[in-house]
Amino acid sequence: MMLLRYAIYRFATMLLTLLVVSALIFLIINLPPGDYLSNQIAELRASGQDAGVAKAEFLRHEYALDRPLWEQYMIWVGFMPGPNGFSGLIHGNFGWSFEFDRPVAEIVGESLWLTVLVNLAAVLFVYLVALPLGVLAAARSKTWVDYTSAFVGYLGLATPNFLLALILFYYGHKYFNLPIGGLMDPRFEGQPMTSDKAWSILVHLIVPTFVIGTSGAAAMMQRLRANLLDELGKPYVETAIAKGMSPRRMLTKYPLRMAFNPFVADIGNLLPSMVSGSVLVSVVLGLQTIGPTLLTALKTQDQFLSGFVLMFVALLTLVGTMVSDVLLVLLDPRIRYEGRET
Q: Which residues bind other proteins (CB under 8 A)?
A: 234-236, 238-246, 253-254, 257-258, 331-334, 337-342
CA angle at 19 for the pair 261 and 66, rounded to the nearest 5°: 150
Query: What type of residue is 83?
Result: P
In the bound state with other proteins, the residue whose beta carbon lies nearer, of 55 and 234, is 234
Query: What type of residue is 239?
Result: T
Helix orientation angle between 290-299 and 303-331, rounded to the nearest 10 degrees: 130
**Least separation in angstroms between CB 230 and other proteins:** 13
**Least separation in angstroms between CB 76 and other proteins:** 35
Helix orientation angle between 290-299 and 104-139, rounded to the nearest 10 degrees: 120
Q: Phi/psi zone of residue 34: left (φ > 0), alpha (ψ -120 to 50 degrees), beta?
A: left
**Least separation in angstroms between CB 100 and other proteins:** 50
**Least separation in angstroms between CB 224 and other proteins:** 16
Q: Is 233 exposed, middle or buried (0-12, 13-18, 19+ CB in 10 A)?
A: exposed
* Among 65, 20, 22, 15, residue whose Cα is nearest residue 40: 65
SS3 59: helix
**Least separation in angstroms between CB 242 and other proteins:** 4
CA–CA distance, 112 with 117 (Å, rounded to integer): 9
| CB 141, CB 319: distance < 8 Å | no
In the bound state with other proteins, the residue whose beta carbon lies nearer, of 50 and 338, is 338
267-278 burial, b for 16+ CB within 10 Å, e for fewer? bbebbbebbebb
Query: What type of residue is 207?
Result: V
Which H or E run contains 277? helix 255-285
Size of the chain, expressed as the number of residues it contains: 342
In the bound state with other proteins, the residue whose beta carbon lies nearer, of 253 and 299, is 253
**Least separation in angstroms between CB 333 and other proteins:** 5
**Least separation in angstroms between CB 324 and other proteins:** 17
In the bound state with other proteins, the residue whose beta carbon lies nearer, of 18 and 229, is 229
Q: Phi/psi zone of residue 64: left (φ > 0), alpha (ψ -120 to 50 degrees), beta?
A: left
In the bound state with other proteins, the residue whose beta carbon lies nearer, of 64 and 258, is 258
**Least separation in angstroms between CB 77 and other proteins:** 30
Return the half-sphere exposure (C-beta side, CA atoms, 13 A cut-off) of residue 134: 27
**Least separation in angstroms between CB 325 and other proteins:** 16
In the bound state with other proteins, the residue whose beta carbon lies nearer, of 91 and 249, is 249
CA–CA distance, 156 with 237 (Å, rounded to integer): 32
For residue 85, list its beta bridge partners: 82
